[in-house]
Amino acid sequence: HGGSTYPTATKLDDFANAACLDHFAAFDGIPYQRSKLYFTYLLPSVRSWADGDRTVVCVVETVGRPLTKTLQGAKL
């Protein structure tokens, strides 16, 4: 997403959900729909957007279990 105007929350959420979903299977090793893992994301703030930040960070997480190793390639 280019542009100098900070997008609406809906546009940012839609973009982040699609981007994280697209990258999930390559990261975990299986499609999101079959995984026991979840993802969330971090979006650029209004201030960082004004400074040119267009980075969305996808975060893979478990629910109810502590992490003891990386989730990359976990196929959970």
Percent of the chain with pLDDT over 70: 96
* Tokens at 45, concatenated: 């703030």
| Dist. CA 41–CA 16, nearest whole Å | 7
Q: In the predicted model, what is the mean pLDDT of the chain?
A: 90
Q: Please say whether the beta carbons of 38 and 62 come within 8 A.
A: yes
Is the pLDDT reported for residue 2 higher than 80? no
Range with the poorest average pLDDT among 8-17, 32-41, 44-53, 67-76: 67-76
3-class secondary-structure state, position 14:
helix
Range with the poorest average pLDDT among 14-28, 39-53, 61-75: 61-75
